[in-house]
Amino acid sequence: MARAVSMRIDSEVKPMLTERRNTKMVLKLKSLLVVAMVSIGFFFGNIALAETVERGRYLTKIAGCNDCHTQGYLLSDGKVPETSWLAGDNFGWRGPWGTTYGSNLRLFIAGMTEKRWVAAARALKRRPTMPWFNLNVMKDEDLKGIYHFVRSLGPAGAPAPAYVPPDQEPKTPYALFPTPQK
């Protein structure tokens, strides 16, 4: 009797147990594979994002954004720590249009999605001295670079001084532009 039971276990139950173990192994391997693929995805995603941020850092320097949007940048030969970049400037640009100030781009971009920023930059039109026409024609990947660089800095500082109409004297230092000759 005992022998018969043991034979049954050998012939029917053991293969079932082995099969269950195999299924478990396959499941484990599958989940390991998924984890590996997700990690690889994150790894390359992070490299891609780091490259985008680096592109933005470079463009911010060479396209002049810092010159007008970073306090003290232009007159210190660019010697302003990156943590203070693009937080706006209280040096005015005065001309027939009134007096304008380089806005705080850290705050401007803070609440925006990448898509909204790209659309806003494409359609942007402002008073002098903002070269908005240059921003309008920037390639998508350049605009995205600037976006992710500014986002990597995070929001900081206060809004730049408000626009002053032409007939009012600004309370800040400013550069005076002559009325353009027609």
Binding region for ligand HEC (CB under 6 A) = 63-65, 67-69, 93, 100-103, 105, 108, 124, 126-127, 129-131, 135, 146, 163
Least separation in angstroms between residue 48's CB and ligand HEC is 21
Given the complex with ligand HEC, which of 44 and 177 has the nearer CB atom?
177
Given the complex with ligand HEC, which of 3 and 79 has the nearer CB atom?
79
Cα gap 178→172, rounded to integer Å: 18
Sign of the dihedral defined by the CA atoms of residues 91, 106, 55, 82, in that order: positive
Residue found by looking up tokens 């005076």 in the block: 176
Residue found by looking up tokens 């400013």 in the block: 174
Could you give the angle at the alpha carbon of 41 between the alpha carbons of 36 and 42, nearest 5°? Answer: 100
Least separation in angstroms between residue 115's CB and ligand HEC is 15
Least separation in angstroms between residue 182's CB and ligand HEC is 22
Given the complex with ligand HEC, which of 19 and 141 has the nearer CB atom?
141
Least separation in angstroms between residue 27's CB and ligand HEC is 51
Given the complex with ligand HEC, which of 24 and 117 has the nearer CB atom?
117
DSSP track, 23-36:
HHHHHHHHHHHHHH
Given the complex with ligand HEC, which of 37 and 123 has the nearer CB atom?
123
Sign of the dihedral defined by the CA atoms of residues 141, 159, 173, 100, in that order: positive
Least separation in angstroms between residue 113's CB and ligand HEC is 15
Pairing mode of beta strands 92-95, 98-101? antiparallel
